[in-house]
Structure 1
Amino acid sequence: MLRQVGMNATNPKTIGIISDTHGLLRPEVEKALAGCDHILHAGDVGDNRVLERLARIAPVTAVRGNMDYGSWSNALPVTEMVEIDTVFFYILHDLNRLDLDPVAAGIHVVVSGHTHQPELTRQEGVFYLNPGSAGQRRYDYPISVARVPIENGQPIPRIVEIAL
C-alpha cells in the first residue's frame, strides 16, 4: 500500500526516523524529533503509548516489528510505502525481509530497524537507513534516531546520536 503524505514542495520538510523503542520513549528522543513534519517508526514499538506520544510531535507511520505483540499491534502493517514531497520511503523492520527491488520500485529511502545498530549506506542511488535503537541500550550501541530533511526533492538523511 502506498500512503501519500501531502507536503508542500516549496516548504522543505524533515522526516524523523525511529526504531526499536521497545516501549521506551525518552524525553531526549522526543527532543531530537521535535520540529519534524512526519515520523516513521520501523518497528518494535513495544507499546501503543509510544506512537501516541510521537503523534504529539508529528503524524506517525509505523510498521510492526518481531517483538510487537497484542491487539494494538495487529493494526500495524509489516511494510509500508510512504510518499512525502515526491520522495518514496519503504519501511520494514528487518532489512533481511526486504520483499522488493527498491531501485525498480522507485524507492529513495529504505527504512529498517531490528539490529539496534545505526547504519546509513547508499547503493544504486537508494539510501538504506537504520536509525538504530531509541529504546533501552543494547551492548555498547548508541541510542539514536535519524532525521531526513527533504530539500529540492532530495532526501538528505543523517543519524543523530542521543546524549544521555
Structure 2
Amino acid sequence: MTKIGLLSDTHAYWDEKYLHYFEGCDEIWHAGDIGSMEVVDKLNAFRPLRAVYGNIDGQDIRKLFPERNRFVIDSAEVLIKHIGGYPGNYDSSIVGSILAKPPKLFISGHSHILKVKYDKTLDMLHINPGAAGLSGFHKVRTLVRFTIDNGSFKDLEVVELAG
C-alpha cells in the first residue's frame, strides 16, 4: 500500500500547507508547471518526488524531470503528463500512447481544473489535481491524496487550500 500526495501548477508558489497535508504520504507527485527549483527542493527534501515538467518550467526543471513519466508502483501502471486532457478529450500529444497501452492511472495538470474521471472504454482512472499555486484563473487551490493498494486506487481525498 502506497499513499500519494498529488499536486500541479504551483507556478513557483510555496505553501507550508503542502507539507502538512502530505505528512502521511509515502511519495509526492507533481503534474507540472512547478515553476521553481525552490518548490522542487522543498518537496524532494520532505518525501520522494516524482514529477514532469510543464510548459512554464525552465531548463533547470526540464533537466531533472521528463515531459512524460510512466512507471509502475504497487502493481499499478501510472502515466503523468502536464498537458494531457481528460477522458473524451485527450490531448493529441498523448492520445496515441494512451490508446496503444492504457495505464491504470493517467494524471495531467495544466487546466487548473480539478477533475477525477473514470474512462470506462480504457479501464483507466484520470486525475487532474487542479492548481495548488496562486497564478491562473482558478478560484480555489487544490491538491489530492489517495492510496494505491495492489493495483487499486482508494481513499481519494480532495483538499481545498484556503488563502
- Structure 1 residue 152: Cα displacement: 4.4
Unaligned runs of 5+ in 1: 1-11
Residue in 2 that maps onto 1:121: 117
Residue 133 (structure 1) aligned to one of 128, 131, 134: 131
Structure 2 residue ranges without an equivalent (≥5): 85-90
Asked whether the 8 Å contact 2:53–2:61 carries over to 1, the reply is no
Aligned ranges for residues 7-156 of structure 1 at < 5 Å?
12-95=1-84, 96=91, 97-102=93-98, 104-124=100-120, 125-136=123-134, 138-156=136-154
Q: CA deviation at 1:99?
A: 4.2
Separation in structure 2 between the aligned mates of residue 154 and residue 67 of structure 1, nearest angstrom: 32
Query: Aligned equivalents of 2:113 and 2:28: distance in 1?
Result: 19
Q: Tell whether the 8 Å contact from 1:19 to 1:42 is kept in structure 2 after alignment.
A: yes
Preserved contact between residue 4 and residue 25 of structure 2 (Cα < 8 Å):
yes
TM-score, normalising length: structure 1:
0.84
Whether contact under 8 Å (1:119, 1:132) holds in the other structure is yes
Cα distance change, pair 48–161 in 1 and its aligned pair in 2 (3 A): same
Superposition deviation, residue 137 in structure 1: 5.2
Tell me the residue number matched to 1:159.
Answer: 158
**TM-score, length of structure 2 as denominator length:** 0.84
Partner SS for 1:120 = strand
Q: 2:112, 2:138 within 8 Å by CA — same for their partners in 1?
A: no
Seen in structure 2, the aligned counterparts of structure 1 residues 23 and 30 have a Cα distance that, compared at 3 Å, is same
SS at match of 2:21: helix
When structure 1 is superposed on structure 2, of 40-49 and 23-32 the one drifting more is: 23-32
| Worse-superposed segment, 113-122 or 49-58 | 49-58
Q: Choose between structure 1 and 2: higher strand proportion.
A: 2
Partners of 1:79 and 1:159 in 2: CA distance:
24
Change in Cα spacing, 1:152 to 1:82, as seen in structure 2 (3 Å) is closer
Task: Report the Cα distance in structure 2 between the residues aligned to 1:80 and 1:32, rounded to whole angstroms.
Answer: 24
Q: Deviation at 1:153?
A: 3.0
* Matched positions, count: 153
2:11–2:135 CA contact under 8 A, matched in 1: no
Q: What's the % identity of the aligned pairs? A: 29
